[in-house]
Amino acid sequence: MRSCVLSVFLFHRGEGFSGLFLLAVASVTLNYVKEAEIKRINKELANIRSKFKGDKALDGYSKKKYVCKLLFIFLLGHDIDFGHMEAVNLLSSNRYTEKQIGYLFISVLVNSNSELIRLINNAIKNDLASRNPTFMGLALHCIASVGSREMAEAFAGEIPKVLVAGDTMDSVKQSAALCLLRLYRTSPDLVPMGDWTSRVVHLLNDQHLGVVTAATSLITTLAQKNPEEFKTSVSLAVSRLSRIVTSASTDLQDYTYYFVPAPWLSVKLLRLLQCYPPPEDPAVRGRLTECLETILNKAQEPPKSKKVQHSNAKNAVLFEAISLIIHHDSEPNLLVRACNQLGQFLQHRETNLRYLALESMCTLASSEFSHEAVKTHIETVINALKTERDVSVRQRAVDLLYAMCDRSNAPQIVAEMLSYLETADYSIREEIVLKVAILAEKYAVDYTWYVDTILNLIRIAGDYVSEEVWYRVIQIVINRDDVQGYAAKTVFEALQAPACHENLVKVGGYILGEFGNLIAGDPRSSPLIQFNLLHSKFHLCSVPTRALLLSTYIKFVNLFPEVKPTIQDVLRSDSQLRNADVELQQRAVEYLRLSTVASTDILATVLEEMPPFPERESSILAKLKKKKGPSTVTDLEDTKRERSVDVNGGPEPAPASTSAMSTPSPSADLLGLGAAPPAPAGPPPSSGGGGLLVDVFSDSASVVAPLAPGSEDNFARFVCKNNGGGLLFFNREMMCVKKWFLFLLGRMFIFYGNKTSTQFLNFTPTLICSDELQPNILGFITKPVDPTVEGGAQVQQVVNIECVSDFTEAPVLNIQFRYGGTFQNVSVQLPITLNKFFQPTEMASQDFFQRWKQLSNPQQEVQNIFKAKHPMDTEVTKAKIIGFGSALLEEVDPNPANFVGAGIIHTKTTQIGCLLRLEPNLQAQMYRLTLRTSKEAVSQRLCELLSAQF
C-alpha cells in the first residue's frame, strides 16, 4: 500500500491537481471498503454540483478544476450526468489549460444532446478560424477523437482548406491531415475530392517531416480508393524516399531513431508506392531501384548501434522494401537479392526476424524470378520446421515449404512434412494434412508414390484426414488403372497393422471391393484372407464405415464366388440382419437377398466396377481455400447429388435397351461414397434406400421404360416376373413402385415417392376391385398412409392380396392427392395376374405325359398359334417360362426345341394343375402354345397371358 501512495507522490508534477490526488489516494487506501469510496465520491459530486449551481459565478480556474474532477470520477467508472455545460463554457476560454480540459471532457463524454452539439461545433469553428495554432490543434484533436458522422458533416469541407492553406503552421497541418484521415475512414462519402488533392500531394515535399508523415498516411488511404487522382504522388514519394535513405544518420535530427533516418516515414512511403505499379518514367524508376538497392546494401553494413532498437527500425524498413520489390515483381536482380537477405534472417537468433523472413519468403516463392532462389533455402526451412520452438514460426515454415514445392523437390518436402506431422501441434495438423494431400496429388509423377503418401498420411494423422482427402484418393485410384493393383496391394498390407485408423479401413474397404481381384492370385491375399482381414476391423468401426464394408462384401460376392457362402453367413447373422441401425440392417437384408436371388450375370452387372470419376478440381484444394469459410459443399457431394438423381429416374428416362446400360449409376450408389450417411447434402436415407431397392430388384430395362397408366405394355411386363419389383408408374410429380413377395398370399410393397419439393396433401391411395373380380380376389391395404407427403419424401404401403378363385381382371390402385393446389387422380392397374399364384412342379417325363393324357378333355385344352413378337431366343424363352411361374421341364419333349412346363395354381378354394407346351417354328417365326389345365377358364387366361410374352 505504501508503495502505491509513494508512487502517487512520485508522480506529482504540475499544479492544480492536489485535491484529485487526495481522491486518488483515497480510492487506493479505501479500496477494500467500496462504500467509503462511493461516499467520498458522492460527497465530492454534491460539492461540485453546489458550486456549479451556486450564485457566485465561478472563475475559469475553479471551473476547470471541477470539470477535471468530474472527468476523473467518470474515468474511475462512475456516471456523470452534469457538468457538460460548464465544459462547453471552458471551450471559449482563452487560456490553454482551461480550453484543453474543456476539449478533453467533450472528447471523452460525447453527448448527443443537440443543443450542446451546436454549441460545441460553434466553439470548434471559432477555434479553427482563430489562427492560433494551439487552439486550432485542440479543435482538430477534438474532431478526430470524436470522429462521428455529425463531426464529419460539420467539418469535412473545412479541414482540407486548413490543410492546404499556405499560412498554416506545420503542427496544425499535421493535425489537419490526420484529422481528415480519420473523418475519411468513418465517412468517406462526406470528404469531397477537389482542388485540394493536388496540393495535398505536394505536402510530400514539405520541409517538416512530421507533415510529410501525416500527409503520407492520408495520401496512402485516399490513393487506395482513387488511384488516378493521386498518381503524381509516386514521383514525389520516390524523391522523398531517396533523400531519406541517402541522408547521413544525423541529418534528420529529431527524426532519426537510433541512427536510422525516419524509419516510420520510410515505411509509409514504401507502402504508398505499393498502391501503384512500377513507375513508367525511367528516371523515377531508376531512382527507386537505387533506393531499394541502398536499403538492401545497408542491411549488409555493420550496425551503427548495438541496440536492438537500431536493428529493429532498420529491418522494418527493409521488410517494407522487400514487400515493394515483391509487389512490383519486375526486377529479377532485386528479387534474388531480397531472397538472399531473407535467407540470412532465416538463421537469425531473433525469433521475430525468422518469423517475418519466412512470411515474406512465402510471397517471394510465387514469383517466377525468385522461385529458384527461394528453393535454395529448403534445408534451412526444413531445419526450422524441426527445431523451431514457436508454433507460429513452424506454421510459417510449413506455408513456405508448401509455396516452394514443385516437381523437383516434392518428394523431399512431402516426406519432411509427413515426418513433422507426427509431432506437429494439434492446431495446425489438419492444415498440414490438406497441404500434403494437395502436393502429393499435384506433383505426383508416379502414382504409387501418391498412394503411399496418402496412406502414410492416414496412418500418421488419421483423425485429421477429412473426408475430402480419402474421397480424393479413391477418385484417383479409380481413374488411373495403372495404380489400381498397387493400391490394392498397399492397402492390404496397411490393413494388416494391428491397429489402423478408421479412415484406412474405409479406403481399404473401398479399394479392395473394387480391385481386390487384382491381388487375389497371391495366396497370401486370397479372397478369403482379404475378407477376413476386412471383417476383423468391422466391429470396431462406426456405422458409416460398416455400411461401406457391407457394400464391399457384396462386391466380393461378385468378384469371388468362392467366398459367397462365408459372406452370406455374415450377412445372415443376427448382428447384421437385426442391427439396430436401419441403414446397416437394410443393407444386410438387401445384399443378402441380392446375393441369393440374382444370377451371376445380374450380380456382375449390378456390382460392376466403378466408372471413372469426371476430372475436376481437387475438392481438397477447395477445402483448403474454404478452410475458414462456413460452407463446405464439396465437389464430391455434387457428384453424388447428380448421381442420385440418375438413380431415381429422371423425368425423361433413356429408352430401354440392354440391361447393362443403366446399371452403372445404381452400382455407383450401391457402393457409393455418398451413401455414407455423413454427406449432408444427400437425399434423406429413406428415399435413397428405397430408390436403391427398386433398382436392385428390377430388370434395369423395366426401370427406364416410360409408362402410361394402365397401359397393356406395362401390365404385360410384370406377367413373367416372379418375385420382384418395378416401377408401376411415374410422372413429373410422383412415382410409385412396387416390390413384391409372394406365395399363396400375395404381398405387395408399394412405395410412393414425391419427386417434387412441394407437399402432396390429402394423399389417399385406394385399392379397387371390380364387381366381377370381387368374389375371386381379396385385396386390402394394411394400413393407410399419412395424407401429407413431404417434398422428396417416400412413403411405403403394403397391399395384401389373396386369391380365392381364378380371375382374369386385375385390381386397380387409385391414387388421389392435391399438389400445388391442383387435384391429381391417377389409376394404375396392379400387375396381379393369375400366374402370380403359380407354383412350379418338377416332374419326370413319364409323369408329365400321364397327366397330359388325363387332361384330354377338349374344354381343358386351349391352343394358340401366333407370330413371334420378339426375337426367338431359346434362353430368353426359358427365362420367361420360369418367370411365368411354372417349372421348366427339360428332356420331356422328344423334340428338344420345344419347351414344356408344369405347375400348380394355388387359390384359397382349389389347386389347379397346369401343363404347358410351347413349340417354336423358327422358319415361320411362329409359336404354338398349348395349355392343359383342369379348368377351362384358367387354361384360357394363362394362354392369353403367356402368348403375349413371345
Partner 1 sequence: MIKFFLMVNKQGQTRLSKYYEHVDINKRTLLETEVIKSCLSRSNEQCSFIEYKDFKLIYRQYAALFIVVGVNDTENEMAIYEFIHNFVEVLDEYFSRVSELDVSFFNTVFHSTWQAHSSPYQTGSCSVTQAGVQRCDHGSLHPGSPGLK
Helix (H/G/I), strand (E/B), else coil: 368: coil
Report in angstroms how near the CB of residue 5 gets to partner 1 at its nearest: 10
Report the residue number, 145 or 344, with the smaller CB distance to partner 1.
Answer: 145
Asked if 172 interacts with partner 1 (CB under 8 A), we say no
Beta strands in 169-303 (DSSP E): 256-257, 260-261
- The three three-digit cell numbers of residue 566, written as one number: 462365408
Integer Cα distance of 207 and 337 in angstroms: 33
**Residue closer to partner 1, measured from CB, 10 or 922:** 10
Which string of DSSP letters, residue by residue, matches 554-569? HHHHHH-GGGHHHHHH
Is residue 750 a contact residue for partner 1 (CB under 8 A)?
no
Give the one residue of 37, 48, 87, 103 binding partner 1; rule: CB under 8 A: 103
29, 89, 92, 107: residue in contact with partner 1 (rule CB under 8 A): 107
Spatial CA neighbour of 560 closest among 523, 591, 528: 528
Give the nearest distance from C-beta 254 to partner 1 in angstroms.
4
Per-residue binding letters, 131-170, with partner 1 (x by CB under 8 A)? ------x---x--xx-x-----------------------
What the block records as the C-alpha cell of 444 is: 505426383
Q: Which of 253, 387, 825, 856 contacts partner 1 by CB under 8 A?
A: 253
Cα(247)–Cα(546) distance, integer angstroms: 74
Closest CB to partner 1 among 84 and 917?
84
- 8-state DSSP, 660: T
Cα–Cα dist 173/159, whole Å: 10
In 506-564, at which residue ranges do the beta strands (DSSP E only) sit?
A: none
Under rule CB under 8 A, residue 383 binds partner 1: no
- Closest to 606 measured CA to CA, from 700, 683, 728, 718: 700
Tell me which residue of 659, 720, 716, 725 sits closest to 692, measured CA to CA: 725
**Contact present, 758 and 791 (Cβ < 8 Å):** yes
Stretch that binds partner 1, among 10-18, 613-621, 748-756, 863-871 (CB under 8 A): 10-18
Closest approach of Cβ 364 to partner 1, in Å?
16
Grid cell of 583 as nine digits: 441403414
CA atoms within 13 A of residue 125's CA, in its CB half-sphere:
14
- In angstroms, give the least distance from the CB of 351 to partner 1: 4
* Binders of partner 1 in range 300-319 (CB under 8 A): 309, 312-313, 315-317, 319
Binding of partner 1 at residue 175 (CB under 8 A)? yes
Contacts of residue 458, Cβ cutoff 8 Å, sequence gap at least 6: 465, 470, 501, 503, 504, 507
One residue of 31, 249, 300, 351 binding partner 1 per CB under 8 A: 351
What is the CA 775 to chain-centroid distance, rounded? 60
Q: Does 30 bind partner 1 (CB under 8 A)?
A: no
Write out the binding residues for partner 1, residues 857-896 only, by CB under 8 A: none
Per the DSSP assignment, residues forming a β-bridge with 905 are 838, 912
CB 478 within 8 A of CB 461: no
Q: Select 262 or 728, whichever has its Cβ closest to partner 1.
A: 262
Q: Is 214 in the site for partner 1 (CB under 8 A)?
A: yes
53: CB partners within 8 A, 6+ apart? none
Q: Is position 256 an interface residue for partner 1 (rule: CB under 8 A)? A: yes
Does 22 participate in binding partner 1 (rule CB under 8 A)?
no
- Residue 649 is a binding residue for partner 1 (CB under 8 A): no
CA-CA distances (angstroms) from residue 346 to 48, 384, 394, 440, 598?
62, 8, 12, 26, 66
- Cell output for 374: 527461394
Determine, following the binding rule CB under 8 A, whether residue 7 of this chain makes contact with partner 1: yes
- Which residue, 348 or 535, has its beta carbon nearer to partner 1? 348
Looking at 16-24, 666-674, 743-751, 897-905, which segment touches partner 1 (CB under 8 A)? Answer: 16-24
Question: What's the N-to-C CA distance of the chain in angstroms?
Answer: 109
Q: Is 531 in the site for partner 1 (CB under 8 A)?
A: no
Cβ distance to partner 1 smaller for residue 310 or 564 = 310
Least gap, CB of 431 to partner 1 (angstroms): 12
Residue list 33-62, contact with partner 1 (CB under 8 A): none
Longest distance between any two alpha carbons in the chain, whole Å: 140
Q: Does 533 bind partner 1 (CB under 8 A)?
A: no
Q: In this chain, which of 35, 195, 254, 771 binds partner 1, going by CB under 8 A? A: 254
Residue number with CB closer to partner 1 (28 or 645): 28
Please say which residue, 246 or 351, places its beta carbon nearer to partner 1.
Answer: 351
Query: Which three-class secondary structure state does DSSP give residue 737?
Result: strand
Q: How far apart, in whole angstroms, are the C-alpha atoms of residue 925 and residue 844?
A: 29
User: Is residue 15 at the binding interface for partner 1, with CB under 8 A as the rule?
Assistant: no
Which residues does the annotation place in the binding site?
Answer: 51, 61, 65-69
| Paired sense of beta strands 899-906 and 838-840, if any | antiparallel
Q: Is 852 in the site for partner 1 (CB under 8 A)?
A: no
Q: Which stretch binds partner 1 (CB under 8 A): 9-17, 557-565, 853-861, 939-947?
A: 9-17
Q: Of 125, 199, 271, 593, which one interacts with partner 1 (CB under 8 A)?
A: 271
Q: Residue 274 Cβ, how far from partner 1 at the closest point, in Å?
A: 9
Out of 91, 128, 151, 181, the only residue in the binding site for partner 1 (CB under 8 A) is: 181
8 part of the interface to partner 1, by CB under 8 A: yes
Q: Which is nearer to partner 1, 220 or 794 (CB)?
A: 220
The correct pick among 264, 276, 449, 741 for binding partner 1 (CB under 8 A) is 264
Tell me which residues in 451-490 interact with partner 1 (CB under 8 A). Answer: none
d(CA 771, CA 467): 59
Least Å from the CB of residue 383 to partner 1: 16
In whole angstroms, how close is the CB of 112 to partner 1 at the nearest point? 15
Residue 26 interacting with partner 1 (CB under 8 A): no
Using CB under 8 A, count the residues that bind partner 1: 71
448/478 Cα distance (integer angstroms): 13
Of 489-508, which residues contact partner 1 (CB under 8 A)? none
User: Which amino acid makes up residue 213?
Assistant: T
Asked whether the beta carbons of 769 and 777 are under 8 A apart, the reply is yes
Contacts of 638 (CB under 8 A, 6+ apart): 681
**Shortest distance (Å) from residue 409 CB to partner 1:** 26
**Segment interacting with partner 1 (CB under 8 A) among 266-274, 756-764, 882-890, 938-946:** 266-274
Using CB under 8 A, which of 26, 58, 108, 528 touches partner 1? 108
Nearer to partner 1, 319 or 848 (CB): 319
Which SS3 state, helix, strand or coil, does residue 724 take?
A: strand
Half-sphere exposure of 605 (CA within 13 A, CB side): 17
For residues 883 and 945, what is the distance between their CA atoms, to the nearest angstrom? 12
Give the C-alpha separation, 410 to 425, whole Å.
23
Minimum CB separation of residue 54 from partner 1 in Å reads 24
Residue 68 is a binding residue for partner 1 (CB under 8 A): yes
Identify which range of 351-359, 467-475, 498-506, 655-663 contacts partner 1 by CB under 8 A.
351-359
Applying CB under 8 A, does 348 fall inside the site for partner 1? no
Task: Candidates 206-214, 513-521, 556-564, 569-577: pick the segment binding partner 1 (CB under 8 A).
Answer: 206-214
Sort 83 into a burial class: Cβ within 10 Å, 0-12 / 13-18 / 19+: buried
Q: Does 179 engage in binding with partner 1 (CB under 8 A)?
A: yes
Other CB atoms within 10 A of residue 371 CB = 16
268 belongs to the binding site for partner 1 (CB under 8 A): yes
Rounded distance between C-alpha atoms, residue 271 and residue 219, angstroms: 11
Q: Does 291 bind partner 1 (CB under 8 A)?
A: no
> At 351, is the secondary structure helix, strand, or coil?
helix
Cα 940 from Cα 187, distance rounded (Å):
92
